[in-house]
Amino acid sequence: QRDALRDKAREPAHVLVMTATPIPRTVAMTIFGDLDVSTLKDMPLGRSPITTHVVSQSSKPDHLTRAWQRACEEVSNTNQVYVVAPRISADDESDLQRFGLTPDELILAKNLIDEEDSSSLKLAMSSVEELYPMLTGDVMKDLRVGKLHGRLPSEEKEAVMQAFVRHELDVLVTTTVIEVGVDVANATMMIIMNAERFGVSQLHQLRGRIGRGVSPGLCLFVSSASEDSPAMARLRAVAASTDGFELSRLDLQERSEGDVLGSAQSGARSHLRLLRVIRDEELIAQARLVAENLLSQDPTLAANPELAKAVEKLRQEERAAYLEKR
């Protein structure tokens, strides 16, 4: 199939980059004109729509109780549920980075949550080891509940996941190990605890684990962030859209574009000293048009020797950086 598509192209692409959840640098490269974009806007075959709601523990704490009840209702309808926690256990802060958030997302989360909340970050954080006994001893005591995280032996992780796939488990309490490569068509609901601790792309990626069958999906972002906080505004923005590109622009605004001329995928470190993608998007578009016109008239830059030198210098720097990594 790939060969058939390649044969149809008059000028085959040298590189094909595909992503279901664009990261800040990917979006920045499309804006800078470094990539031509083909967007697949239709939902993949066999997928169902996903509805997302924010459950605020600060303003409506009783809604969490209703969320657990709703999960039980899904199970009674022969469906399955994910409950996602940002870390494994209450006493291991390294779980945040190793098994929950990436370094960039951890920094972002700490910056966005309320100051009084961040002072009790460890205490406020849900974990798999806390949630599992709480749920199995109370609201889900009659359900088949499993737990999954990155610290389990590989054989045990595989056994738990396969049990969930075979519908031998109704509910899976898990960390973000399910973020990619998990396809359970019968899973229709996801409850993400402490959702304010996750980045935009990660929330979108997690949400994509449900609604993969004939039944629509329901995702709940449970958060203790205050109603007027940046974290809550971010969660509501993610809940309001399932458009990966729209969400990646939001992610881009918060995490910065990384190094468009290098390899860093997000963050403030960049070869660009003055230009910023969102702020200067119109200027970048104008520059792209000028560059396209110039190259159409002077493909080898023979009439623009100084520009040719600058391009060659950039290429040499890229080669040197590549060789250093080998």
Along the 326 residues of the chain, how does pLDDT read in single tens digits?
567 766 776 677 777 766 655 555 666 666 566 667 777 777 777 789 999 999 998 888 889 999 999 999 999 999 999 999 999 987 765 544 444 455 555 555 555 544 444 333 333 568 999 999 999 999 999 999 999 999 999 999 999 999 999 999 999 999 999 987 789 999 999 999 999 999 888 999 999 999 999 999 999 999 999 989 989 999 999 999 988 878 877 877 776 555 545 544 444 445 566 666 767 778 878 888 898 899 999 999 999 999 999 988 878 876 766 555 55
Alpha-carbon span 71 to 314, nearest angstrom: 54
Same domain, 70 and 167: yes
Q: Which two tokens stand for residue 212?
A: 């993969």
Question: Are 212 and 185 spatial neighbours (Cβ–Cβ below 8 Å)?
Answer: yes
Same domain, 176 and 73: yes
State which of 233, 260, 275 marks the end of a domain.
Answer: 275
Same domain, 225 and 249: no
Residue 46 falls in which region: left (phi positive, over 0), alpha (psi -120 to 50) or beta: left
Same domain, 59 and 70: yes
Same domain, 183 and 143: yes
Q: Which two tokens stand for residue 151?
A: 């610290």
Same domain, 144 and 175: yes
Same domain, 75 and 221: yes
Query: By C-alpha distance, which of 276, 238, 177 is closest to 21?
Result: 238
Count structural domains, the chain.
3
Same domain, 58 and 132: yes
Enclosing domain of residue 62: 50-241
pTM of the model: 0.71
Alpha-carbon span 113 to 59, nearest angstrom: 15
State which of 223, 241, 259 marks the end of a domain.
Answer: 241
Same domain, 150 and 54: yes
DSSP summary character for residue 43? P
